[in-house]
Structure 1
Amino acid sequence: MTSDDELFGPQPTPIAELGDPERVLRFLALAMVEVDEGARELDQIAHILDESVYRRLMGRAALLHRARLLERGPSTRMRPTITVGRIHARSPRENVLEAVVMVTYNELTRAVAVRLEGVDHRWRAMALDIL
Structure 2
Amino acid sequence: MSLPAYSAPLRLRPASGWGPPALDEQAVDLLYDEAVALSRDQRRGYSQPTLRVHLRAADLDPMFGPQATQRAALPDPEPWLRQLAAAMLECMTGVRAPSQIARWVSPLVLERVNRRNVIARRRGAHPISPPRVRKVHVCEPDDGVAEASVVVHHHGRVRAMALRMVGVDGRWMITAMELG
Q: TM-score range by the shorter chain?
A: 0.7 to 0.9
Q: Spell out the pairing of 1:113-124 with structure 2 (5 A cutoff).
A: 113-124=162-173
Which residue of 2 is the match for residue 37 of structure 1? Answer: 93
Query: How big is the shift at 1:52?
Result: 2.0
2:113 equivalent in structure 1: 57
Select the residue among 94, 104, 122 that pairs with 2:143: 94
- Map of 2:131 onto structure 1: 82
RMSD over aligned CA atoms reads 2.1
- Against the structure 1 CA distance between its residues 107 and 59, is the aligned structure 2 distance closer, same or farther, given a 3 Å change threshold? closer
Which ranges in structure 2 are unaligned for 5 or more consecutive residues? 1-57
State TM-score, norm by structure 2.
0.60
Report if aligned partners of 1:84, 1:102 keep a CA contact under 8 Å in 2. Answer: yes
CA drift at 1:30: 0.5
Indicate the residue corresponding to 2:84 in structure 1: 28
1:12 is matched with: 68
Aligned identity (percent) is: 38
C-alpha spacing 1:100/1:14, structure 2 compared with 1 (3 Å):
same
Q: Is the contact made by 2:90 and 2:130 (CA closer than 8 Å) also made in structure 1?
A: no
Question: CA shift at 1:35, angstroms?
Answer: 1.5
For the Cα contact (< 8 Å) 2:144–2:167, is it kept in 1?
A: yes
Runs of 4+ in structure 1 displaced over 6 angstroms? none
Cα drift, residue 47 of structure 1: 1.2
Q: 1:24 is aligned with what amino acid?
A: W
Amino acid at match of 2:61: D
Aligned match for 2:156, one of 101, 107, 128: 107
Which string of whole-angstrom CA distances, capped at 9 and with x for unpartnered residues, describes residues 16-68 of structure 1? 210111122111210122122221111111111112221222122212322x2
Q: Which has the higher strand share?
A: 1
Q: Distance in 1 between matches of 2:64 and 2:94?
A: 37
Report the equivalent of 1:127: 176
Distance 1:54 1:46, change over 3 A: same
Question: Unaligned stretches of 5+ in structure 1?
Answer: none
Amino acid at match of 2:97: E
